Amino acid sequence: MPTLFQRIIAREFPARIEHEDELCIVIHDIQPQAPVHLLIIPKTVIPRVGEATPDQQSTLGHLLLTAGLVAKKLQLARGFRLVVNHGPDACETVPHLHIHLLAGRQLNWPPG
């Protein structure tokens, strides 16, 4: 069964796309937790960060570089936060690795 993100990538479900390239897609979260809340999703399914393999290293790096690229595009010079959830205790809801990019307000510390 394809994940929700696979179905978005296949254009079976609509999404507000901010960026797309050959390795990933960046969409706006439908339940934003900040004024800017994007999801950076690899097109190759990696179930969760703790299950990534060494051959996926370049994809993982690409996701972080894409976060920086999108942050520059959106002029988030005051700052942004990247979050990766892994497993139910971290509130992971889709078993397809994705990075949350949060910005647009003062983010508190510690999170959670």
| Residue 112, domain member (yes or no) | no
- pTM confidence score: 0.94
Secondary structure, 3-state, 7-58: HHHCCCCCCCEEEECCCEEEEECCCCCCCEEEEEEECCCCCCHHHCCHHHHH
* Per-residue pLDDT, 1: 87
| Residue 76, domain member (yes or no) | yes
| Residue 109, domain member (yes or no) | no
Q: Which of 28, 37, 96, 98 is catalytic?
A: 98
| Residue 21, domain member (yes or no) | yes
**Mean pLDDT score of the chain, rounded to an integer?**
95
Write out the residue range of the structural domain in which residue 51 sits: 4-103
In this predicted structure, the answer to whether residue 61 has a pLDDT above a threshold of 90 is yes
Q: Is 11 exposed, middle or buried (0-12, 13-18, 19+ CB in 10 A)?
A: exposed
Q: How many domains does the chain have?
A: 1
| CATH number, domain containing residue 92 | 3.30.428.10
Sorting pLDDT into bands at 50, 70 and 90, what band is 111?
Answer: confident
| Residue 56, domain member (yes or no) | yes
Strand order in the sheet with 24-28: 17-20, 24-28, 36-42, 99-103, 80-83
Q: Which helix (H) or strand (E) holds 24?
A: strand 24-28
* Per-residue pLDDT, 78: 93
Residue 37 designated active-site? no
| Residue 108, domain member (yes or no) | no
* Per-residue pLDDT, 96: 94
* Per-residue pLDDT, 91: 86
| Residue 30, domain member (yes or no) | yes
